[in-house]
Amino acid sequence: MPNLIEMVSSAFNTIIDDEPKLQLNIIEASYCWLYYGIVKEAIAFEEAGLNTTNDDELIGILNDAIKLCSKQAKQLEQFMRKEGVTLPPVSEPKPFSDNKVIPPGVKLTDDEIANGLALKILAMAAKSSLGAAECVRTDMGAIWVRFFNEAVIYGATLKTKMRKRGWAKLPPAYSPPGV
């Protein structure tokens, strides 16, 4: 069975090659600026999480998230520089620290780290889907669709691991009146 993402990407690339290149509009530039800020701040949070947890599974989850966010940030930064979009101010990379020396009142719990990460991934999925829906340029739309797919795939894996570990915050079940 062909890979759906590859098929969609191939279709976008065919369209992109045939279209004249428009100048990036203000909405597209704004989404680039916002999304770049989201992924760079997610990396800072993930690095802080690595500094505060000693859970091997959570460390793996955070390392995967850093790889995803770093890859997307690099791709978007190259695109923004090429298009002349100013990069937003972002947090500096976090230096490595020993989690044993962080005071308990400051240290995030594994539950807090996992749920904070889930919120960052959710923000990435939401912003990339809006970017795809509101952009005019097809090449920009292809970037947003790829970023959205990557965030959703990572998010689904994260959700499964969070449920397994008891970190997922689940709302109560819905019981319709009269049942």
Q: Is residue 63 part of a domain?
A: yes
pLDDT in tens, 28-47: 999 999 999 999 999 999 99
Q: Is residue 131 part of a domain?
A: yes
- Tracing tokens 């990396």 back to the chain, one arrives at 43
Q: Is residue 13 part of a domain?
A: no
Domain that holds residue 47: 25-86+108-165
Q: pTM for the full model? A: 0.85
Output the domain CATH number for residue 140.
1.20.1260.10
Q: In angstroms, what CA-CA distances link 120 with 20, 32, 67, 145, 160? A: 35, 16, 14, 17, 16
CB 33 within 8 A of CB 86: yes
At residue 12, does pLDDT exceed 60?
no
Number of structural domains found in the chain: 1
Q: Is residue 42 part of a domain?
A: yes
Q: Is residue 71 part of a domain?
A: yes
At residue 17, does pLDDT exceed 80?
no
